[in-house]
Amino acid sequence: MQYMLLLYDDPSAAPAPDSPEAAADFERWMTVTQEMQDAGVMVGGEALLGAETATTVRVREGDTLLSDGPFAETKEHLGGYYVLDVPDLDTACAWAAKLPNAPTGSIEVRPVMEIPAPT
């Protein structure tokens, strides 16, 4: 079963980009990512640029509407994701708990819908 781990953080609580704290955070992310790869559970994942770079697209009554920013205004922003192939939700949650943002942000763990191939 595949699970998506959606990583949320409050960007105002992040360390300055060139600080020793940011370097240490980056190293922790690389370590847990390597652990996932070594365990053979990581299907994919990426970090996202800040919410200020987002564009939201809506189609209403045939008109395409674009707006700057994320879909919803929230304190925590979606900063990246992992897709894991693990046996169950408990295993996915155990990996989520290892992520460096778990103590300060949140990780939404959601099963990926399996869509059967057309016959």
Domains present along the chain, CATH in parentheses: 2-111 (3.30.70.1060)
pLDDT exceeds 90 at position 76? no
Determine the 3-state secondary structure of 88 from DSSP: coil
Closest CA to 97 of 5, 15, 9: 5
CA atoms lying within 13 Å on the CB side of residue 119: 1
- Burial (CB < 10 A; 0-12, 13-18, 19+), residue 36, is buried
Strand order in the sheet with 2-9: 42-47, 77-85, 2-9, 106-111
Highest mean pLDDT out of 40-44, 69-73, 101-105? 40-44
Say if residue 71's pLDDT is above 70.
no
Consecutive H or E run containing 110? strand 106-111
Q: What is the pLDDT of residues 38-57, one digit of tens each?
A: 999 999 999 999 888 999 89
Contact 34, 42 (CB under 8 A): no
- In this prediction the pTM is 0.88
Question: Residue holding tokens 């819908």?
Answer: 113
Torsion 69-75-79-84 (CA) sign: negative
Per-residue confidence (pLDDT) for residue 52, from 0 to 100:
87
Is residue 14 predicted with pLDDT exceeding 90? no
